[in-house]
Amino acid sequence: MKLSNLFSKLSRTPPERTVYAQIVAKARQPWLYTDAGVRDTVTGRFDMITLHSFLLLEHLGGKGEVTTEFGQALFDEVFMDMEYSLREMGVSDVSVGKKVRKMSEIFYGACNGYREAIALPDDQRVAALGAALKRNITGADVDPSDLDRLVIYTFRTKQQIDKIPVKNILAGKFEWPDLPA
């Protein structure tokens, strides 16, 4: 094996890291914080990473062992970044594990709420997703029109993600849907 081949393999970004970078970019869209009721806080940003991760992981779910492994790698990437961010914010080593564990519980709880909402019949789905987004992201004091924008955005993003071939996601080579605010 050539030495240059070894270094080119070592320097490649893993696809789950590329996908996670796209999730973070979408989660940081300014309009989500100015026009969709998401609080521009550490928690609000984590909530948006959770929502966008859910949409992608939901598309991959139930499509075989390779997608399950990729989903786990993506989840690991999310929480390695969360751990790193907590440390950068000055959280002590003793507390990091507890905080990451709590964040993972919040992540799973929110994802389960979103999954339950989108599994409902059409006539119940919008209200249920709105309630889940309000509970997990915006809070009770959200302006109803802001919440409506977030619900519409979530459904449209899900529709677009569901059109992306799974093989492209697994390779980290796809364009995240760019929906208007």
Whole-prediction pTM: 0.89
- Domain-by-domain residue ranges, the chain? 14-171
Whether the predicted pLDDT of 120 surpasses 60: yes
More confident residue, 67 or 179: 67
Q: pLDDT tens digits, residue range 95-119?
A: 888 888 999 999 999 999 999 999 9
107: closest CA among 146, 144, 76, 148?
A: 76
Task: Please return the burial class of 35, using the count of CB atoms within 10 Å of its CB with bins 0-12, 13-18 and 19+.
Answer: middle
Q: What is the pLDDT of residue 17?
A: 93
